[in-house]
Amino acid sequence: MKKQITLSLALLATISSISYAKTATNAFRTKAGHADARPINQSQTGAKTNALSSRLVSTAYDTYGTSSFTTVDSGKLVYSPSGLRGSYNDLWQDWDYDTSYNYSFSGGMAELSGRFYNVYNSNNLPTLMVGESFDGTNWTMEERTTITYDANKNVASVESESNNGNGLEKEYKVNATYNTSNQIVTSTEQEWDAMNTIYKDAFRTTYTYNTHGDATQELYEEHNGAWANSGRTSYTYDANFNNTEILSENYNAGNFEPSYRTQNVFDASNNNTVSTSDFYMTGTWITVSKYINTYDANHNQITSENYNFNGTTLEPSSLSDMTYNNYSQMLTSTSKIWEPVSMQYKVGTGSSNQRMHYEEFTLGVKDLAKTHDGNLTVFPVPAGNTVNLKLNLEQPQGIFIMLQDASGKIVQRWNEAAGKQFAKQLSLDNIAPGNYIIRVIVGGQQYQQKISVIR
């Protein structure tokens, strides 16, 4: 499987959602120009605060049948009693995240189907991430990711193993280099040659940045005896550092040729209100999808309306509504399907509903200056042929994305260098309908979100 789809196989470098403090190893931030959209309740103690926060404890995923929603999947999270490890995500905000358990529903009964757990080093950075499936009696390791770091706590390497029926087997390894600003400069993917028991160069991505530290280009190369260009992605920003265009080009006969682009429109509060995706065909850009988004006063996305190209024009497809708690953590996400006859969005066959439950807990006495959060948005839910990821970072980072099935097996993966605002549309054309988990990793941190793929 060719792993360098639209994204390069880059690296983690700080998005997993595992530390809430703004440090050199935690690149989370609120969006430029925004007030802190994720409040922490606090009682002052001198220059510090005894803070309360909220963490996810369980989730449920429902799909709509003939007349009502039915729960088809759920999960719960187990936390360690000490430390401040955790993950942050609009949908999955976790602190002290150690293990998540996944359940599938059959005949109205919840059945344990899998679990994910992490192992950390003394810096609270994950060095091992494991996914296991459960058959009712035994746990089977389905995938294992081993992570190493350099002296600056940047991810130096990521090695992936998966179970193809005969136990864990090596798949690939990614090695990264960084500049003096800790920006990722190159990521080189090596694929495992089982016959010769060595890793061999396969793909390489080289990243360039502007003076503000935002990624402006990713250059992709493939190795077939020697490195050769295969494509590139370019990023354009407005005066507020919002990412207004992402242009993908293929390399053909010595020239770069446009193939795909995403264009984003932002309002005065730097909210991404409109996103369009275009394919370049016979010298013309054809818009194939469009998203119109609205936000609340805390910059939480509360609706996302999706239009898809029907061969002639864009037509309404789905509408997602989101609600949040006082911590700006998502409580529900409900999708409605466009009904052409009534010309309105309705809950019906193909609709889905995600429910998140949280608990409030004490952070202890913490320096207020260090409580800066990040923000990941994944839409639409459910997904069709594509799914969109949007993320805010404190500084450019390398991003590692995995799509896993319910058993934890990796079915597709991508890598990318992200600017301070990361937006990417992932192709799901070769993914069978069903329930999946998107895991996004940057540095020592990770986000994960369940999605349903429908056709």
Q: Give the angle 363-298-386 at the CA atoms, nearest 5°.
A: 100
What is the model's pLDDT at position 83? 39
What is the model's pLDDT at position 195? 94
pLDDT tens per residue, range 326-341:
878 889 999 999 999 9
> Where is pLDDT greater, at 390 or 272?
272
**CATH dotted code for 41-206+322-333+348-453:** 2.40.128.720
332 contacts: CB under 8 Å, gap ≥ 6: 321, 322, 323, 353, 354, 355, 356
Find the helix or strand (DSSP H, E) in which 335 lies: strand 330-339
DSSP-derived 3-state class of residue 287: strand
Nearest to 266 by CA among 245, 286, 285: 245
Find the helix or strand (DSSP H, E) in which 43 lies: strand 41-45
How sure is the predictor about 393, in pLDDT bands with cuts at 50, 70 and 90?
low
pTM: 0.68
Neighbouring C-beta atoms of residue 301, cutoff 10 Å: 22
Contact 70, 63 (CB under 8 A): yes
Query: Residue 292 pLDDT > 80, yes or no?
Result: yes
pLDDT tens per residue, range 401-452:
778 776 556 777 776 655 556 667 777 777 777 777 777 766 555 566 767 7
Beta strands in 340-444 (DSSP E): 344-346, 352-367, 375-379, 386-392, 397-405, 410-418, 421-427, 434-442
pLDDT tens per residue, range 181-239:
888 899 999 999 999 999 999 999 999 998 888 889 999 999 999 999 999 999 999 99
What is the model's pLDDT at position 190? 95
Q: Which residues pair with 375 in a beta bridge?
A: 392
Length of the chain: 455
Q: Helix count (H) and strand count (E) of the chain?
A: 0, 31
> Where is pLDDT greater, at 395 or 250?
250
What is the model's pLDDT at position 424? 72
